[in-house]
Amino acid sequence: MQTEVTKVPLWTKIHKAKMSIGKVVKNSTNPHFKKSYADINALLETVEPILHENGLLLLQPIHDKILSTQIIDIESGEMIESWLTLPDNIDPQKMISATTYYRRATLQSLLSLQAVDDDGNSVAAATKPTLTDDRFKEALKSIESGKYTAEKLKADFNLTKTQLQAL
């Protein structure tokens, strides 16, 4: 007697994979904008093994100037995809750069991936100054008068729980 194997739907596999992926570490910096980002290799190293564990295949083909990121259920052949049209009339080096950028963008979009700084957040928190109670009171007055914002205060200083509650 043969037992029937229940197929797991694509969306269930994607959901399970997303729950395992978590946040992707930003490992590169764009020197022009001084912003950090997760490069394509960081994304692939994070995502592909988890997709494979869930019976999913990642492909990123280019067809007629359209770069497509596809996640395919190996069992059923079902697929989800995200795509962008590559720019026209650019030199080969710029095309390779655009292709890499679009691969990263479509993969992040398709899986709604979040990125987190590698050590940036912990380093920034460690280097922020603390506020004495008197300085905190002065900052509150500046916020009330519209000269300063609570968001700026949180970004610029390590605040105690009591100070955060007072905001």
Between the alpha carbon of residue 58 and those of residues 27, 77, 79, the distances in Å are: 21, 12, 10
What are the tens digits of pLDDT across the range 71-112? 999 999 999 999 999 998 889 999 999 999 999 999 999 998
Binned at pLDDT 50, 70 and 90, residue 147 comes out as: confident
Q: Higher-confidence residue: 67 or 40?
A: 67
Residue 3 lies in a domain: no
Work out how many domains the chain is built from and give that number. 2
138 and 106 share one domain: no
Q: What is the DSSP letter of 64?
A: T
109 and 69 share one domain: yes
Residue with tokens 């190996």: 74
Of the ranges 5-14, 80-89, 112-121, 132-141, the best mean pLDDT one: 80-89
Sequence-distant (6+) residues with CB within 8 A of 113 are 21, 23, 24, 38, 43, 47, 107
Sign of CA dihedral 81, 86, 91, 97: negative
Residue 4 lies in a domain: no
Which residues, listed in sequence order, are joined to residue 24 by a DSSP beta bridge? 115
Domain interval for residue 146: 128-166
87 and 47 share one domain: yes
Query: Which pLDDT score, from 0 to 100, does residue 1 have?
Result: 59
What are the tens digits of pLDDT across the range 11-46? 999 999 988 887 665 555 545 545 655 678 888 988
**Does residue 166 surpass a pLDDT of 50?**
yes
Query: Which pLDDT score, from 0 to 100, does residue 113 have?
Result: 84
Reduced to 3 states (helix: H, G, I; strand: E, B; else coil), residue 41 is helix
Query: Which pLDDT score, from 0 to 100, does residue 4 have?
Result: 66
92 and 133 share one domain: no
Query: Which pLDDT score, from 0 to 100, does residue 121 have?
Result: 45
85 and 105 share one domain: yes
Of the ranges 40-54, 69-83, 124-138, 149-163, the best mean pLDDT one: 69-83
Residue 123 lies in a domain: no
Name the phi and psi angles at 100, rounded to 5: -60, -45
**Does residue 124 surpass a pLDDT of 60?**
no
Reduced to 3 states (helix: H, G, I; strand: E, B; else coil), residue 85 is strand
Residue 134 lies in a domain: yes
